[in-house]
């Protein structure tokens, strides 16, 4: 394993809270703070992987910078087909981005233009995590308002369901590989499994987390 720490990947010395690699392996996105607002940046991954690309002044490292969020961005997630990027933050908003056919000039370089195609409003608190279903049919978001919202990714900004049941802030969501179940983790020291057939709770798991103080921070379905 080789550890790389490119100094040019930064948000003007402001915190970066999330990173996600595009399914093609050509780009990666970061989310965090920047200036007086939240910031999402799309970067050229080849500039990290290949030294000859990194030192070439004609190849842009930053592909696009989006400062639309009104507060810190906590999560960025690419859709599985790579067409969309979702971001969620302390402004209680989920923004969905798509690559525009237009390009913007950066000197002699051409960089990408990512535009917000939908702003999803429904949470009453900061958004902490996002997850696309395996088929990209749904987008799940979770928040400090103790809820999970399922969005119809084929008809943004339509809500499919609001999942209530956690009694503490919800920190993470993850889909099973075939999209039949959604898992969620919370500060209430529980893990819940939800059925996508009717969005009811299939199982609540608490025993392994009774001694953790509610501070398990990451969730992944394998």
- Give the number of other CB atoms < 10 A from CB of residue 179: 15
pLDDT of residue 53: 85
Among 66, 95, 121, residue at a domain's last position:
121
Q: How many domains does the chain have?
A: 2
Q: Which of 105, 121, 137 is the last residue of a domain?
A: 121
Q: What is the pLDDT of residue 107?
A: 47
Position 32 in a domain: yes
Residues 99 and 144 in one domain: no
- Exposure of 133 in the CB half-sphere (CA atoms within 13 A): 21
136 falls within a domain:
yes
pLDDT score of 82: 97
The pLDDT of residue 108: 40
User: Where does 35-126 show beta strands of DSSP type E?
Assistant: 37-44, 62-66, 73-78, 84-89, 93-106, 109-121
> Do 98 and 132 share a domain, yes or no?
no
pTM: 0.88
Residue segments in the chain with a per-residue pLDDT below the cut of 70: 102-110, 207-222
Same domain, yes or no: 143 and 202: yes
Beta-bridged to residue 39, according to DSSP, are 32
Are residues 132 and 95 part of one domain? Answer: no
Neighbours of 182 (CB within 10 A): 25
Same domain flag for 157 and 111 = no
- Domain extent at residue 72: 14-121
- Given 72, 104, 121, the domain boundary residue is 121
Q: Kindly state whether residue 102 falls inside one of the protein's structural domains.
A: yes
Predicted pLDDT of residue 211: 58
> For residues 70 and 38, is the Cβ–Cβ distance under 8 A?
yes
Residues 49 and 108 in one domain: yes
Tokens at 115, concatenated? 């535009």
In a domain, residue 138? The reply is yes
User: Per the omega criterion (within 30 degrees of 0), is the bond before 50 cis?
Assistant: no
Q: How do residues 26-77 score in pLDDT, each as one tens digit? A: 999 999 998 889 999 999 998 888 888 888 888 899 999 999 999 999 999 9
| 158 assigned to some structural domain | yes
Residues 168 and 185 in one domain: yes
Q: What is the CATH number of the domain that holds 208?
A: 2.120.10.30
Judgement on whether residues 105 and 140 belong to the same structural domain of the protein = no
Residue 107 sits in the same domain as residue 129 = no
pLDDT value at position 217?
Answer: 54
Same domain, 82 and 152: no
């Amino acid at each position: 394993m080789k550890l790389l720490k490119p100094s040019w990947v930064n948000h003007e010395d402001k915190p970066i809270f999330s990173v996600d690699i595009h399914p093609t392996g050509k780009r990666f996105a970061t989310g965090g703070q920047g200036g007086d607002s939240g910031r999402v940046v799309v970067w050229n991954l080849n500039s990290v992987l290949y030294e000859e690309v990194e030192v070439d002044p004609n190849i842009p490292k930053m592909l696009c910078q989006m400062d639309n969020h009104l507060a810190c961005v906590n999560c960025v997630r690419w859709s599985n087909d790579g067409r969309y990027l979702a971001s969620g933050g302390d402004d209680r908003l989920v923004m969905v981005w798509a690559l525009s056919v237009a390009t913007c000039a950066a000197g002699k370089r051409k960089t990408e233009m990512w535009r917000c195609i939908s702003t999803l409003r429904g949470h009453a608190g900061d958004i902490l995590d996002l997850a696309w279903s395996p088929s990209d049919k749904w987008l799940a978001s979770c928040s400090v308002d103790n809820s999970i919202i399922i969005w119809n990714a084929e008809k943004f900004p339509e809500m499919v369901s609001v999942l209530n049941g956690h009694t503490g802030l919800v920190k993470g969501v993850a889909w099973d590989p075939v999209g039949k179940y959604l898992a969620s983790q919370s500060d209430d020291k529980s893990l819940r499994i939800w059925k996508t057939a009717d969005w009811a709770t299939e199982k609540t798991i608490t025993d392994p987390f009774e001694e953790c103080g509610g501070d398990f921070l990451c969730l992944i379905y394998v």
